[in-house]
Amino acid sequence: MQNDAPLKNAESCGSMEELRAAIDSLDARLVALLAVRQAYIERAAQLKTGRDQVRDPERIEDVVSKVIAEGRRAGLSAEIAEPVWRTLIEASIRHEFDAFDKR
């Protein structure tokens, strides 16, 4: 990752400029992690033997449940975690279908 320096605590940001800089830094880290996740999705498309394996409703619900539980532990609202991950999962499935079809 580009910047592994500790993130500034939100309460220690004394201005909107500082807060926005911290958010921008966090966003850069999230983008890097999402790129890694995308690589895993692309690998899944290579490993799956049938196009019908790309969308797995049981796996979707398992992932969402795990994310909500982890969010609770980390202090992330389920009202943010669930829709964000469902959107991420749907975009990932579309990407995986594209990758599967290009094999």
Distances (CA, A) of 60 to 24, 69, 84: 29, 14, 13
What is the percent of the chain where pLDDT is above 70?
A: 97
Say which residue the tokens 């964000």 belong to. Answer: 84
Domains defined along the chain, listed by start: 10-101 (1.20.59.10)
Give pLDDT, residue 1.
Answer: 46
Q: Give pTM, 2 decimals.
A: 0.91
Contacts by residues 9-18 (CB-CB < 8 Å, ≥ 24 positions apart): none
Segment 78-99 shows an average pLDDT of 98
Q: Which band of pLDDT confidence, cut at 50, 70 and 90, is reported for residue 3?
A: low
- Report, as an integer, the average pLDDT of 66-84: 98
pLDDT value at residue 2: 55
